[in-house]
Every structure is written in C-alpha cells, then in structure tokens.
A and B are shown apart, each in its own frame.
Chain A
Amino acid sequence: MKNHNRSTSKNVILMVLFIGLVISGCQERYHDIELPQLKPKLVINSIFNEGERFRVNVSANLGRNSTEKYTPVTNATVNLFENGEWVEELIGGQDTINIFGDTIGKWFYFSKKTLPKAGNIYRISVEAPNYEDVIAESKVPQKTIIHVVDTTWVNVDFEKYLRVYLEMRNPSEKNWFFLGTAYLNPIFSSSGAEDVPIIGYNKRYFTFRVNDPLIGTRERRIKEDFPLFSNELFSGDIYKFAIEVNQLNTDRGIFAVDLITLSDEAYKYLQTLTDFKNNDIRYSEPVKIFSNVNNGLGIFAAMNTSCDTVWVNNY
C-alpha cells in the first residue's frame, strides 16, 4: 500500500513537471533585434500659410532602435525659391510662438521678407554638412471663403452643443479642406488699470462634431481623424452645412471657424498622419508617411486659411 502511494505521488509529480514544461514551452520569449545601419537624412517640417512668414524646421532622422534625442540641425543653409527664382536664404533662430513643443520646436529657419502668395510655387533647398542636399516644393492654393451664417444652442444626449451653420464657397477646382474650430481667448494688458484693455487674442482650437453627407460624419473625440474633406461632390456656388461644438469648449465670447484649403502635399501628409495615429492596433497595416522631400524626409507643404468669427452668448 505504501509503495503504491509512493508510486502514485511520483507519477503525479512527473505529470505536474511535464505539464509545467509544456506550458513554459508555450510562453512568449523575447529577443532584442538590431536594425541595419541608418543612412543619415535631413528631415524638413514646414506647413506654410498664405501671408505668413516661412517657418522651416530642419532635423535629422534617427534609428527606430536608437534612444537618442532629437536635435535640430542648426548649421544648415536653407534657400527659398519662388516660381523657380531664388528669393532669399532663410535665417535660423529661436521661435517663441510654439509654447507646447519640445526643444527642437524652438529652432526654425524663417524668411525675412517673403510671404507666400496664392498661386505661387515655393521651393526650398537645404544643405547641411554630413547630409545629402534636399529639395521640396509646394504650390499655395487659392483661398476658399467660409461664413458663419447662424448659431444656436441644442441639447444632444443630455449635453449642450453650439450648432454653427456655415456656408462655404465652392471653388471651381477640386480641393481638399481642413476645418478648424477655435475659441479666441483675449490677451489683457498688464498695465494695472481697472478696466484692463484687450491687446490681442490667442486661438484655442478644439474638436467638433459633424454629420453631413458630403463633409462626413465625425464624433467629438480627442484623437479624431483630421476632418479632411473635398468639394468633389458639391453642387452650386455655395455649400451649406452645420457643425456642433460642445458647450464645454464654447462659452460666451468669440467663436472662430478656419477653413484651410490644402495643397496636394499637405492633404497627402495629413491623410497619412491620420492613418498613422489610428494605426495603434498591433496587426494592422504599416503606415507610410507621405513625404515630398527629395533625398530626405518630412514635409514642405502650402495651405491657405480663411477665417470667420462670431460672438456667442451664453446658452
């Protein structure tokens, strides 16, 4: 009897060991993998608007495996061409506009005198030691006018929304557009006076919801697709539609709508950027970010912004 028990215990132990081996054999194991040597390339970042100074960021690519931090390329020579003619060399310097960016976001190359004009083609060439020269160009599209026709407060799913009725002019050519909604924060003077004067406005952008057969359907989400749409299916000179903005984002004050007409390059870049940020499921297709920079990476693309504002009273 004792021997029998001992034999049973032995078998049980063996079986447990065996099952343990099987389960451990099926466990995931990890190995670090080295990627091939990286070819250094210049990375250009500039999406420029009609009437605003050129602002070009130049950096370098890093290996996907590397833990290095980005540093701006500050010794580059950046030349700007307008319709094929050289116009000026951009000057590098700190940018104080971008308050949310990383350190790299503070170093840009600026144009001194040239402001982008609709219909013109702009090209930059960038040279920097240890990198191949890069070239990129983009044509500034024509502005497309947008108007806020009316606003009204509505209740949707127990939440208050500002419904904004808009109309936009339908350009003769097919264009891609980006719609932005913002609240204008007044900037007050720090003079210490009792009736503090407003000396300017900061635009605070936020998302909106829309349900339109041609513009598209979008929920109010933080990580939402870029609301890109085209006028391909518009008919007539004017297209009317409505958007809704959550009350949490809009209060008494100035509400602004930006309609940005995109160049072909800007559209492709933003579209792939949208795909990229949505591509966080492990087994989905890899996203190739659009680039129009020859011999390098990044984007140099034009856009043209039309803006309309409206005073909104409390709901």
Chain B
Amino acid sequence: MKAFAFFLLIFLLWSALGYTQNTSFTISGYVQGNTSGERLPGAVVYCPKTSNGTQTNPYGFFTLMLTPESKGIEVSHIGFQTKWIEFNQTHDTSFIVGLAKRDIEIGEIIVSAQKETKLMKRTGQHQLAPSQIEKIPMVLGETDLMKAYQMLPGVQSGIEGTSGMVVRGSDPGQNLILLDGVPVYNANHLFGLFSVFDSDAIKSSTLIKGAFPARYGGRVSSVLDVRMKEGNNQEIKGIVSIGLISSKIMLEGPIVKGKTSFMVSARRTYLDLLSLPYQRVLYGKNALWKYSFQDLNFKINHIVNSNNRLYFSIYNGSDAYSYKSKYSDTEKKIETEEKNGFNWGNLTSTLRWNWQPGKRFFCNTTLIYSDYTFNTNKYTKVTDRLDSINTTSVLNLKFKSGIKDFGICVDFDYAPAQNHQLRFGALFTYHQFFPGVNIVDFNNFGSIIKADTISKNHALNNNETALYIEDEWTITPQWVLQAGLRSTAFSTDKKKYLTVEPRFFLKFTPNENNSFGLAYSRTSQNIHLLTNSSVGFPTDQWVPITANVKPILAHQANLSYNQELSSTFNFSAELFFKQMKNVIEYSENANLKKDWQDIIVQGNGTAYGAEFLLNKEKGKLTGWIAYTISKSDRKFDEINEGITFPYKYDRRHDIKIVVMYPLGKRADLGINWVFTTGNAVTLPTERIFSATSFENQFYGYDYSSELYIYDRKNNFRMPNYHRLDVTINFHKKLKYFNRTLSLGIYNIYAQQNALYYDFIDGKLRSNSFVTFLPSINYVLRY
C-alpha cells in the first residue's frame, strides 16, 4: 500500500505540473447518436490545429482543454459521420454532440475507423461496431460478438464444442468479460458455439489484449468490455430476427421522450423442438434429450438533469441440457428410469449513476451484482419386479456450484490541464464462491449410498478492493504517455494478498501515417478457472485464491507499429511477451473426488509472438488478413517431471481472412477462412502389461492387467484446424421494415476438424462435431 501511496503522490505532482501550463478553456460534454440519443463510448474528440484529442469514456463523456488558436474540433465514431464543430468562444463550454449514423455501404467493413481514431488507438486494442459484426459470417447465421473478435490477430477460439476465448496463449479464464461493467463468468451458449451476447442489444464493445489501462483489473489476459444499448429516447425501434435454431426480438424506445428510455431484448433457441422428430426416429419413445438456451437483456435509463443520469440494466441467460430414458428388461422384469442433466447461467445487474459535478469532472457510481451458477443432477430409479415383490432403488445426485459478486465502484474522470486526462477510482467486491467437484461415479452405482462422499462444496467468501489512477499525458503532439497504477487487496479467511500493478503506454506518432507504441502492464488475477486438460465444458469451476492457492501475476510487454499504406490499406504489427506466475493446473493423476485445493498445482507460463493485420477499409472489396505466430508454454515442478511443456492452446500459426464483397445493390457476400495449428493434447502412446501378481492375489482375478503410458504432458498435436464460411445477405426495403435474408454455410468444404480423441477397440480415433452447416436467417428491422 505504501508503494501505491508513493505513486499516487507522484501522479498528483505530475498532474499539478499541468496547471502551471497556459491553459485557456475547457470543452466538455457528451457524444451521442443524434436520432437515438444513445451515448457513444470511445468516440474521438480531436483538435487538428493543436493535434490534441481525447476519447469519450464508457458513458459518452469527454473533456478537452483547448487554446484560443484551436478554432474547432472534429468528433468521430465508428459507424457515424464525422462532425466538425467550430468555436468562436474561448471560455469553458459544455455541450452535447449528436452524430449521424453513417450508412455503411454494403460490403464495407472496418476494424478501426477514421484517421483520428487510429491516432488515438492504443496498442493491443480493437473495437468492432455492431454494424460491422453483423457482416461477418457466423455459425448458423447467428451474429456473434465474441466470434467476431476471434477473427482478429492474437485472439483465438477453441474448436466447435469448446468454450471460451483464447487471447495470446492464455486460458479462457484469464479474460475479463464485462457486460455494462459487470463480470460475466461464462459467456458461452451451446458449449461455445454461441456467446451470451445478443448483438441486437449491444451498443459497443472493446477488446483489450495488451497495454491495459489501470481502470481494468482482475484478469491477466484480456478485457472484453461490452456495453448494452440504453434505448432510443426519441422513437420506438425494433428488430425481429428468425434464425434456424433460435429467434430473437429487440425493442427500444422512449418512455418519456428525450428523458427516459428502455431497451429489452430476448432470444431463445428451439433446438430442443427441432430435434424432436429426429430423436423419435432414432430412439423411439424410450429416450429423449433436450437442449435449450435463452437470454434476456433489459435496460432503462433516465436523464435526471443535465448533470445527472441513472441507468439500470439486467441480463439473464441460461443453458439447460437434460436427458431422460426408460428401459424395461422383460426377461429379468427390471425397469430402469434415468434422468440426467445440467444447466448453467448468468444473472447480472447494475444500477448506475452518472454525475457531472463540474466541466472537468465526471463521476460514475455503480452497484454491481453478478450470479453465475452451474448445476448438475442425476436420477436413476431401478424397479425390480422379480418374485412378485417390487423392490425399488433410487439414486438422486444433485450438485451445485457457482460464484456470486456484490460490488460497488466509483470512477472519476478529471482533466486537470490541457495535456492531462486523469482517471481514478475504487472498486469493492464481495465474492461468494461455491466451488465444487463435479463427479458422478458411473461404475459403482450399486454401492453409492452417500452422495456427500462424492461431491465437496464449501462456500468461500472473499473481499476484493481495488484502487486505480491513470493519466494520459500529451507531452507533444507526437508523443503521448498513458501511465497508471492499480492496487488490489484480496482477503481470504486466512490470508490477505496485496498487488501493485504499474501500467504504461508510450506512443510516438512521427507523422499521420505512422505510429509506434511501447507498453508494459503488470496484472493480477484473484480467481482461477479450474479446467481439465481436455475439452472445456461449463463444468469448469471458478475457484478463488486461498491461503494455499496464490493469485496469478503477469507481466506483459508490447511493441507495436501501425502504418497507413494507402487511403484504403492499413497495416499493423505487434510483438508481445507475457510471463505468468502461479497459473494453475490439475496435478498429475488428480483424483477429482478430492478437494480441489489438494489436486491442483501452481506454476509459470510464458507466451510470446507477433501479430500482423492487413486491413482493407475502402473500395468494393473490403476485409482483412490477420496472422499470428506465437508460442505458449507452461512449467510446473510437479508436472511433466518439471520440464516445460507446450500449453494446450499453444498454436504456432493462426491465420484469419475476412472478405466482404457487394453483389449488386441488394446483396453482399461475406467469406471467412480460418486456419490454426492444432491444440496440444496428452495421449497415451504406449501400453504395457502389468504382470505383477500383486493385484491378482488380492482381488482374485486378472485385474488392471493393461496400463497406458503417457510419456509427457501434451505430447501430441491435433491436426491443423481450418474451415471456410460463406454468407450471402439479401437486403430489401419493405413498407415498414428493412428486411435482411441471410443464407450461410459454415465449414463449406466440410473439413472434419477434430474435437477430441478417444480409443475405440484399441484404435485412436478423432471425433469431429460440426461439418458443413447451412443456415438461414430472416431479420426485420423497424
């Protein structure tokens, strides 16, 4: 804490320096869509005369200090027309800038927008507007924010059926996924095929994978900051989307025009209903499985006065899988009834108060609630009608796990001087963890009597407090330094952990076509995602740090270069090096029946690589090529005899190509191609005979006589993963609606990418899941 106080003092002195400079006047206010009244985060407010600029905060607020020679400012945002605002006055002013939506031409897609935006761009940061995300081909035509970000360099998905986003060689548990500032612990539906984010309900999103601002913390790999729409406060608008396996509806509009607005969106899959006839053919009436997911987003906001605004938002999403079967053995007169299932879901909610106490000051206070649950159940009933006496045995196992957060955070934006933008704040979170080990012992049904001997589930309560301060200092128009400091205190029942995390980002822009960036971030993570070394299911458990389990600490350094090759082409390259301490893995031979703390080990991880992005922003054909070459490995004293091994997401090469091309005035074509090196997995390569008579003597029969040998961890590389997706969108303007009909094929050449391996009859077999998947989507926009 002393270190934090010391750095805080330095910051205040630093900011005070700004006062000594000849400041003239301050402009501040909000940037919003002129027809919807939606506040626009990340909009660029830029003065070309002085090369001075800033970006709006997540609530659309900006403050910028100008000199009399400034004359005016340019305000721009992805997907909106740039606006020039001229000044005559030279005194402090506050105003609202309304931006008109830009009709994105068919086929046009941009990873970053205007030149001003690029000038403000940080190393390792991407922004995709919802209008852009819609144009990228997706599985089953379902527009998906997370999948769109996975088309960028350094960001990878698992494979079909695996959950999570892998950023720069880390694991999916190291990404901070925020929805309106609240952590979402499991952002996947349908085992990772879709994310929980309904694109129609999303206003903006930003992915940060390096050069982390100090205001973000709690994860060591990336931040995906997603903001829900606030609701159009001028007129009622709506979207109805009918897809192959799910449909959704979004409605937004004013409750009190210009003052209070709402947004509500709902999505539900009907995969369970569609598969019903198919199951009837396969299984008859004896068995039935059901799978469904659903989402509900709701937001309401109220402008109290020009200085105060209130928001309330809620998200509830869940997945549910169930299987039931009933079989009769007429000969033995035994009836068996089984019901198995699991469900998981997130409930997040925020109550937010935006307060602008002065022209240079902005304050945001948020109450946070997040609840992630994962439940399993297994029910077996066996009825034996032999000898005319009915005997019934029932096995009913239920298991619950999850994590609950209650939090409050206060964030301040303050512009003490023309060349300084100061942000500081505090966050307090009360975590309740319900970690458990999800085990159902299939072998020993006959003797399982006590379910509590199988599952362990002890609630763990922890407090987390974080303080941060950051400043953006425009040293000269060419040199910008963003420096910050974050300190986190995490208290468990027996131990307290304190981390101090310096962050800095230095940007040099020698001319308007080139820029260089250098960044360093220290990050920490006080919760771990406990995942096994094979397929990532939602059964992965979130567990907190404890007296024995230490927090993850990471250092990341980045060097970036950005060049405007021409008016249509942009090129960027970025080197990264990341070192992680105290990452967790299951120990070798982990017996999952034991308490989770007894079967994990902590070690170190390293990831480094280079990312390249060539982006064509204008012209008929638009899109990008992203290439990442990287290496990620892990080292644990207790695993693999202490020898470094490749991490399961160590993918040497990763290529993504996104192409958009207009087909006349009413249609556009979207093509994705993805290629990535296969995952590293642990497979037994040998088998040996266990000929000791030891077991035979004690158990009286030939027992465990064959053993499988794993020579080392992650010793096998799965085949390269690749697929091509194509979508054609047909647009039509109807009397009351704009209609889009999307036809798509996911994995058009039916590449059978391996999902997992198993041995059947002694043969190693790869199993693939999604091949050649056509889709159809029908969207009406009002």
Contacts and interface: CB of A to CB of B under 8 A. Distances in A.
> 6 smallest A-B Cβ distances: which pairs?
A57-B691, A25-B773, A275-B589, A45-B691, A205-B698, A70-B689
Contacts of B776: 18
A286 B682 contact: yes
Contact of B693 (A64, A97, A298): A97
Contact of A66 (B695, B762, B766): B762
Contacts of B710: 286-288
Contacts of A283: 532, 534-535, 537
B704 A276 contact: yes
Contacts of A281: 439, 442, 592
Given A25-B774, A276-B707, 17 more contacts: A25-B771, A25-B772, A26-B773, A31-B768, A33-B764, A45-B691, A46-B692, A57-B689, A64-B687, A105-B702, A204-B700, A276-B704, A287-B710, A288-B710, A289-B709, A297-B709, A299-B692
A33 B768 CA distance: 12
Given A22-B774, A31-B752, A272-B589, A63 B769 contact: no
Nearest to A223: B443
A271 B589 CA distance: 9
28 contacts: A18-B776, A22-B774, A25-B747, A29-B767, A30-B760, A30-B767, A34-B764, A43-B688, A45-B690, A45-B692, A57-B689, A61-B687, A61-B709, A62-B687, A64-B708, A64-B709, A64-B759, A64-B762, A102-B691, A205-B697, A206-B700, A271-B589, A276-B707, A277-B704, A280-B442, A285-B533, A285-B589, A288-B589
A214 interface: no
Interface in B708-742: 708-710, 716
A55 to B, nearest CB: 8
Interface in B653-687: 682-687
A228 interface: no
Nearest to B746: A25
A26 B690 CA distance: 40
Nearest to A106: B691
B323 interface: no
B181 to A, nearest CB: 34
B599 to A, nearest CB: 8
B692 A47 contact: yes
Interface residues on B, range: 35 or more
B686 A285 contact: no
Contacts of A288: 588-589, 709-710
Interface of A: 18-19, 21-23, 25-26, 28-36, 38, 41, 43, 45-47, 55, 57, 59, 61-67, 70, 97-98, 100-102, 104-105, 180, 203-207, 217, 219-223, 271-273, 275-278, 280-289, 297-299
Given A18-B776, A19-B274, A205 B700 contact: yes
A285 B771 contact: no
Contacts of A70: 689
B513 to A, nearest CB: 46
Interface string B146-190: 000000000000000000000000000000000000000000000
Nearest to B766: A31
B244 to A, nearest CB: 6
Contacts of A287: 588-589, 710
A222 B756 CA distance: 31
Nearest to B757: A33
A29 B766 CA distance: 8
Given A63-B686, A277-B704, A26 B770 contact: yes
A220 B766 contact: no
A277 B274 CA distance: 40
A285 B592 contact: yes
A33 B692 contact: no
Nearest to A205: B698
A55 B694 CA distance: 11
Contacts of B278: 23
Interface centre among B593, B693, B699, B702 (most CB of A within 10 A): B693
Contacts of A298: 688, 690
Given A64-B684, A276-B704, A47 B694 contact: yes
Given A33-B757, A297-B709, A280 B443 contact: yes
B705 interface: yes
A15 to B, nearest CB: 9
B767 A101 contact: no
Contacts of A286: 533, 682-684, 710
B541 to A, nearest CB: 13
Interface in B101-148: 140
Nearest to B589: A275
B35 interface: no
Nearest to A277: B704
A28 B754 CA distance: 10
B455 to A, nearest CB: 14
A30 B766 contact: yes
B691 A105 contact: yes
Given A30-B765, A283-B537, A62 B686 contact: yes
Given A62-B688, A64-B687, A297-B688, A284 B768 contact: no
Contacts of B701: 100
Contact of A297 (B453, B686, B696, B756): B686
Interface in B479-495: none
A25 B275 CA distance: 13
Interface string B256-298: 0000000000000000001100100000000000000000000
B306 interface: no
Contacts of A289: 707-709
B228 to A, nearest CB: 30
A282 B586 CA distance: 16
Contacts of A205: 697-700
B691 to A, nearest CB: 4
